[in-house]
């Protein structure tokens, strides 16, 4: 029996593994010049999010304020306790927003335990054509029990 079957059966018999969902919104304004890895912050200027329950990072959404770029590239990395677990970028000629899926079915999702610290950094890898604002939204599934070690 596969992992997917076991999880579905667990939900069927009344012991769901997902007890809730959460979104962590982070952002920065005034991007244009080249910048090294710099922390993204929430609306209260907090740059780190401590998990209060076991969770799974299922993906993240990157979005620029003024749509598509005609020049430049912005990269984002997601860190869990200081280790990079996911990354993505927006570049010229591409869309101004992108959702990066960390699919559970192929074990690309990122398991996290209660008390771990989640942070996100951005880097302007090539100068941008206009001043931009960047928003990153991390999608979390809150779990009843830890998923993987």
Residue 58 maps to a domain: yes
CB 59 within 8 A of CB 40: no
Per-residue pLDDT of 19-73, as tens digits, reads 889 999 999 988 888 888 999 999 999 999 999 888 889 999 999 987 678 888 9
Confidence of residue 144 (pLDDT cuts 50, 70, 90): confident
In this structure, what CATH number is given to the domain that contains residue 93? 2.60.120
Distance CA 39, CA 31 (A): 13
Residue 97 maps to a domain: yes
Residue 8 maps to a domain: no
**Tally of structural domains, the chain:** 1
124 lies in which domain range?
20-143
Residue 33 maps to a domain: yes
The pTM is what? 0.82
Residue 4 maps to a domain: no
Stretch (H or E) spanning 5? helix 3-12
Residue 6 maps to a domain: no
Confidence of residue 149 (pLDDT cuts 50, 70, 90): very low
- Whole-number Cα distances in Å, 106 to 59, 79, 103: 13, 20, 6
Cβ count near 46 (within 10 Å): 11
Distance CA 78, CA 80 (A): 7
């Amino acid at each position: 029996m596969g992992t997917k079957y076991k999880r579905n059966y667990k939900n069927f018999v009344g012991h769901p593994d997902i007890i809730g969902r959460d979104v962590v919104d982070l952002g920065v304004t005034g991007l244009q010049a080249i910048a090294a890895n710099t922390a993204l912050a929430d609306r209260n200027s907090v740059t780190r999010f401590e998990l209060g329950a076991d969770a799974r990072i299922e993906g993240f959404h990157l979005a620029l304020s003024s749509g598509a770029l005609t020049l430049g590239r912005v990269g984002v990395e997601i860190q869990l306790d200081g280790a990079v677990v996911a990354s993505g970028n927006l570049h010229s000629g591409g869309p101004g927003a992108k959702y990066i899926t960390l699919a559970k079915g192929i074990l690309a999702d990122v398991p996290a335990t209660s008390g771990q610290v989640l942070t996100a950094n951005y880097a302007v890898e090539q100068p941008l054509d206009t001043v931009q604002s960047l928003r990153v939204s991390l999608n979390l599934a809150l779990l009843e029990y830890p998923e993987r070690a």
